[in-house]
């Protein structure tokens, strides 16, 4: 497992990170512990959750695992505040996350969304206060456009506030928007990049087909909101192209889709979601996969 420095921070994170969205929401505590145990055993040190995941249940499961296994000093712990981002709300959210995670500090605290209704300075002040108190070591953001990240960095610089050090955007073969402006901004400003949903919430796993019913118990069955994002002509065209290339290369579709993201320039860590131990192992198979220049170029062209 490769470990990389996250932006300008002193955090060393594994090139594969554990996205904890499924815990307490799609799988129970016992299954979550098995997944977390395997992730740690395989060398994953970055664990990313959020207050919005299962209305706090993900943080509670992760916190229980950390306390039970005594691994707090072995992992990088990241979480997020969601919704209204007033100064008071940001601070209260972090304190509630600390309680659920059973820890006295969060390594990386991120805003989960852009709040156009709250003055940006309020949000940034709340984050700065948390860092000054020592409850949060570093701050970042998720799902922000490049201009929103740039504006935040500018205001933090002008006001002398703690600086965003990382971004967490969606990135996969279907969603490549970050290549246009966000990745160049991150390279210029030395921001760490932790991408999520490398398989498009499972869309690129090969289990879904155009015009056919969604398999019962699948992610798109449990969270049907994903369908509007991926069940498009473009989405299916890319997925079908991936399927053809996977057959030609003789590798599983999920492994090829994961490997493509893992080998992209400018990515610090790729967050995987898992509902089973096998899905954790699948990520390591993808990391070890060697993609020819020809196949890589054809994946890019999709």
Domains of the chain: 3-200+265-290 (3.20.20.100)
84: three-class secondary structure by DSSP: coil
Closest CA to 200 of 261, 245, 281: 261
pTM of the model: 0.94
CA–CA separation, 270 and 106 (whole Å)? 20
Strand partners, 273: 19
Q: Provide CB contacts within 8 A for 93, sequence distance 6+.
A: 51, 81, 82
**Six-digit token pair at 14?**
């594994």
Asked if pLDDT for residue 148 goes beyond 70, the answer is yes
User: pLDDT by residue (tens digit) across 214-254?
Assistant: 777 676 766 666 777 888 999 999 999 999 999 999 999 99
Which tens digits make up the pLDDT trace of 14-61? 999 999 999 999 999 999 999 999 999 999 999 999 999 999 999 999
Which of these, 65, 49, 22, 175, lies nearest to 110 by C-alpha position?
49
pLDDT at 213: 72
DSSP E strand boundaries for 88-231 = 106-111, 136-142, 164-168, 192-195
Whether 143 contacts 169, CB under 8 Å: yes
Averaged pLDDT, 119-130: 98
Q: In the structure encoding, which two tokens stand for residue 69, read together?
A: 């296994």
**Residue 216 has what pLDDT?**
74
Q: What is the enclosing helix (H) or strand (E) of 112? A: none
């Amino acid at each position: 497992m490769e470990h990389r420095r996250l932006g300008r921070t002193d955090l060393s994170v594994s090139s594969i990170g554990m996205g904890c969205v499924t815990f307490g929401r799609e799988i129970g505590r016992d299954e979550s512990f098995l997944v977390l145990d395997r992730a740690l055993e395989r060398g994953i040190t970055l664990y990313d959750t959020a207050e919005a995941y299962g209305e706090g249940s993900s943080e509670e499961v992760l916190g229980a695992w950390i306390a039970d296994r005594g691994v707090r000093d072995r992992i990088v712990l990241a979480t997020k505040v969601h919704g209204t981002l007033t100064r008071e709300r940001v601070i209260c959210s972090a304190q509630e996350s600390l309680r659920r995670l059973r820890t006295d500090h969060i390594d990386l605290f991120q805003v989960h969304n852009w709040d156009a209704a709250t003055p940006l300075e309020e949000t940034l002040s709340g984050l700065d206060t948390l860092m000054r108190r020592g409850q949060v070591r570093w701050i970042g953001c998720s799902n922000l456009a490049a201009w929103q990240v740039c504006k935040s960095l500018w205001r933090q610089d002008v006001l002398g506030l703690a600086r965003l050090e990382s971004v967490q955007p969606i990135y996969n073969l279907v969603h490549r928007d970050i290549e246009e402006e966000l990745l160049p901004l991150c390279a210029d400003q030395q921001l760490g990049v932790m991408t999520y949903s490398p398989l498009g919430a499972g869309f690129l796993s090969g289990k879904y087909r155009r015009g056919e019913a969604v398999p019962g118990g699948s992610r798109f069955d449990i969270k049907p909101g994903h369908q509007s994002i991926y069940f498009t002509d473009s989405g299916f065209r890319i997925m079908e192209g991936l399927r053809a290339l996977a057959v030609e290369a003789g590798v599983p579709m999920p492994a090829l889709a994961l490997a493509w993201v893992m080998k992209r320039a400018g990515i610090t860590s790729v967050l995987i979601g898992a509902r089973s131990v096998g899905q954790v192992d699948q990520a390591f198979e993808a990391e070890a996969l060697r993609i020819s220049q020809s196949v890589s170029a054809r994946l890019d062209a999709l």
